Every structure is written in structure tokens, then in C-alpha cells.
Amino acid sequence: MAIALRRKIPENGLRPLKPSKDLLGIADLIEEAFAGDMDNSGLKALQEMRWMGRWGKVLFWLDYMSPDVNTYLNGFVWEEDGKIVGNITVNRNSHDGRRWFISNVAVSKAFRGRGIARALMDAALEFVREMRGRVVLLQVRRGNAPAVHLYRSMGFKESGALADFYMPHPAKIPIEPLPAGVRLRRHRLDVEDARRAFALARMVVPADLQHESPLKFRTFRLEGSDVLVSNLFRRLFGFGTRQYWVAETGSRGVIATLNVEPGIWSREHSLGFLVHPHWQGHLEKALVSRALAYLAQFPAQAIYFRHPDALTHDVSALL
């Protein structure tokens, strides 16, 4: 009796992402493609992806889940001789399904210049069209000229620039005094302060960014009970509590907001702030210096925050 042995032929080219088999390969690819550009949060995200990938076949059900349900692991890969050398992820960015976000456009260095990135982008855009999406967003570093050229050639337009600030080893700096007549107080965690913060954001965030990512009032509404429970958990485990402040004057009311979140489980500390246009260039150092002073009480973890590039003013000099 003759027995025919069949050798599995590796798949080559473009295909949909399969969570049950691709996550480890994608993690390896992202680590190679973005080596040197990843901060601690990016490295932790890779660790989580590898952890999920090790579950292997347990995730098989995600392979067949409708994109309407699976909103986090949609995408495509490019495979060569059994190895993933290209990846793109596309996720819904709004509840109504009109807005989508493309991320992790990565191609292995040895396979660049072969049109793989464009093929991945074409597949992602066709997928969004099939899902009846109307707007596609992505982010790219200004210095990544090949990627910028590719996206522009495919019809993408720049809608706004964001600046990333990262301090791997925070330094102790003196607290900058507040301008005369300005008072910094804690957010009252009520609807009125939420409305003021929302109104300030609508005034401050560049119109092009608001057009692409409309501001939502619920994002600014801080439920006092939720904050109290979260901070109670943080105290129980010895972590710093989240802090929310507003700066105000007698004539203009709220002119700035400052949010500070100490990192937990060795994650980065984070902060965010907004300043009224009439006070931009006068309050940023005072706000950030106070945030750094608060974070100095906790383990010396890195600090990260993202801010509209046009609004950074003198913050980069401070950091």
C-alpha cells in the first residue's frame, strides 16, 4: 500500500488577519519595524499581544467573528514562506461605524520597497468601504517620509499635528508661580465643572482635529463616585490617586484644566491639560511643573502625554 505524504505549502501574499495564529508573528514584526521608536507603553502592548498569541487556538472563534462584533482585531497580514512580513490593523472609531482608524502599518525591513504597504492599505480601505465607513484616520510621524508620501498618494490629508512628550527619567524642577489673579483648585466632579471643561476644549482644540474627532461631553463628565472608587482602589494597592484641577480667574472663569494620573503596575504616569487661548504661553509651565511635583511622590516611572502640536508653547523647554 502506497501512502502519499502531503507537505503543507506556506501561504504567500495578502490575507485577512487570523487572531488564532498571527498575533505572535505580528508582535515580532512590530518589534522589528518600530525598533527604537517604542516607549514603555508600546512595549507593554507588545507583551500583551504575545500573551494573547500564546493562547493560540483558544482564540479561533475570533477568526470567524463578524467585524461588527470584533472591533479590535480586524486587519490584514502579508505572509512570505510562513512568516508575517507585513501587517495593518483597522478598527471602528465611532459608534455609528462611519469613522475607522488604521494603525500598525508595518513591513519587515527586508521586504520594503515591494509595494506591500500599499497593498495592505488598499485592502484596509476596501474593507472600510465594505463596512460602509465614511472617514478613515491614521497617524504618522513627520519624519517618516516614505509613509507620508504613501498616504498622500492615496488621498489622505493632514488634519492636525500632535506632539508626544516622553520623560524616561523625570527630573525635579522648581514649581513655576501662577500668574497674578489665577487660582488653581480641584475639579468639583460635578456637571457644572464638566460643562466648563467641555466649553474650554471646544474653544482650544484646533478645528481640524475636532472635525476629524468630534469632542463628546461625556468624555469630560467626571462621575464623583467613579473617581472615588478608582482612587480607593489605588490607595489600597499603594498607587497614587488621579487628580483633576481647574484654573480660574474672577473675570473669565475656568481658563485651564489639568489632569494627572500616576501609573500603576509600573505603567507610565500620564497628564493632560488645556489652556484658554488668551492665556496660552503663560500657564503651561505652571501647570506642568505642578503635575511633575505631584508625580515626584511616586515611583520614578516615565511620564508621557500627548498634546496638539500648535499648543505646546514653552512646554518642550520645561521638559
Strands 303-308 and 269-275: parallel
pLDDT at 18 over 60: yes
Q: What is the pLDDT of residue 242?
A: 94
Residues 318, 287 contacting (CB under 8 angstroms): no
**Stretch 280-299: mean pLDDT, rounded?**
90
Q: What is the pLDDT of residue 1?
A: 40
Q: What is the pLDDT of residue 193?
A: 94
CA geometry: angle at 156 spanning 155 and 158, to 5°?
140
pLDDT at 8 over 60: no
**Stretch 259-287: mean pLDDT, rounded?**
90
Write down the mean pLDDT value for the chain. 83
pLDDT at 37 over 50: yes
Q: What is the pLDDT of residue 62?
A: 57
Pick the CATH number of 165-318 from 3.40.630.30, 3.30.1330.30, 3.40.50.2300, 3.40.710.10: 3.40.630.30
- Which residue in 13, 21, 41 sits closest to 269, CA to CA? 41
pLDDT at 218 over 70: yes
**Stretch 3-29: mean pLDDT, rounded?**
76
Contacts for 54-60: CB closer than 8 Å, 24+ residues apart: 54/24, 56/20, 56/21, 57/20, 58/20, 59/19, 59/20, 59/23, 60/20
Q: What is the pLDDT of residue 2?
A: 44
Q: Does domain 13-158 have CATH number 3.20.20.140?
A: no
Tell me the domain boundaries of the chain: 13-158, 165-318
Locate all alpha helices (DSSP H) within 34-144, ordered by sequence: 40-53, 60-63, 116-130
Give the tens place of pLDDT for each residue, 221-232. Answer: 888 888 989 999
pLDDT at 68 over 60: no
Least reliable range by pLDDT among 14-23, 164-173, 269-278, 279-288: 164-173
Question: 3-state DSSP call for residue 39?
Answer: coil
Q: What is the pLDDT of residue 110?
A: 94
Cell numbers found for residue 39: 516607549
Q: How much of the chain, in percent, has pLDDT values that exceed 70?
A: 84
Q: What is the pLDDT of residue 99?
A: 86
Least reliable range by pLDDT among 8-17, 37-46, 131-140: 37-46
Per DSSP (E only), the strands in the chain are: 13-16, 75-80, 83-92, 99-107, 135-138, 162-167, 183-186, 243-249, 253-261, 269-275, 303-308
Q: What is the pLDDT of residue 202?
A: 93
Give the tens place of pLDDT for each residue, 181-200. Answer: 999 999 999 999 999 999 99
